[in-house]
Amino acid sequence: SRLQPAAPDERSPETANMKWMFKEDHSLGENGGDVIVEKVSGSQIVDIDKRKYLVPSDITVAQFMWIIRKRIQLPSEKAIFLFVDKTVPQSSITMGQLYEKEKDEDGFLYVAYSGENTFGF
C-alpha cells in the first residue's frame, strides 16, 4: 500500500509549527522568487534536470551555486560558473539582492551556468 500524506487538518501541531518556522526563516518576501536555470548553449557541462527554483532571498549566490552543483552532480574538481545577463554575479550577495536587481519583467530571474568562464558571445 502507498503512504498517503496527511490532510492539512490531520497533521500534528509540531509539524505545522516546523513548517511555519521554516517559512519565517526562509521567507521569500519581496526579495526572493522564481529563478530559471539553464545551461549555456554549447557548454560541455551536464544538463540540469530541474529548471525552475523558488529561492529563499537570504541565501547567497555561492550557496545557490552549490545547490546547482549538487543538482547536476558535478565533481568538486570541476568548475561551474553562473551568469546573469551575461555577467558573473558576485558570489557574496544574496539571491534576494540579485533577484531585485536583475529579475526580468516577467518576474523571473534567469541564471545560466557553464563549466567555462565564458558566455560564448
The 10s digit of each residue's pLDDT in 28-84 is 444 457 999 999 988 889 999 999 999 999 999 999 999 999 999 999 899 999 999
Which range is most confident: 26-30, 93-97, 112-116?
Answer: 93-97
The reply to whether 121 falls in a domain is no
The strands making up 33-39's β-sheet, listed across from edge to edge, are: 52-55, 33-39, 109-114, 81-83
Looking at residue 25, its pLDDT comes to 53
The reply to whether 5 falls in a domain is no
Looking at residue 60, what DSSP letter applies?
A: B
Cell 523571473 appears where? Answer: 108
Q: Which residues pair with 36 in a beta bridge?
A: 52, 110
Looking at residue 6, its pLDDT comes to 47
The reply to whether 4 falls in a domain is no
The reply to whether 79 falls in a domain is yes
The reply to whether 6 falls in a domain is no
Looking at residue 89, its pLDDT comes to 96
Contact (Cβ atoms closer than 8 angstroms) between residue 51 and residue 84 = no
Domain count, the chain: 1
- pLDDT tier at 121 (50, 70, 90 boundaries)? very low
Looking at residue 119, its pLDDT comes to 57
Contact (Cβ atoms closer than 8 angstroms) between residue 27 and residue 61 = no
CB atoms within 10 A of CB 102: 14
Three-class SS of residue 45? coil
Q: Which three cell numbers stand for residue 63?
A: 550557496
CATH number at residue 90: 3.10.20.90
The reply to whether 8 falls in a domain is no
Domain that holds residue 105: 28-114
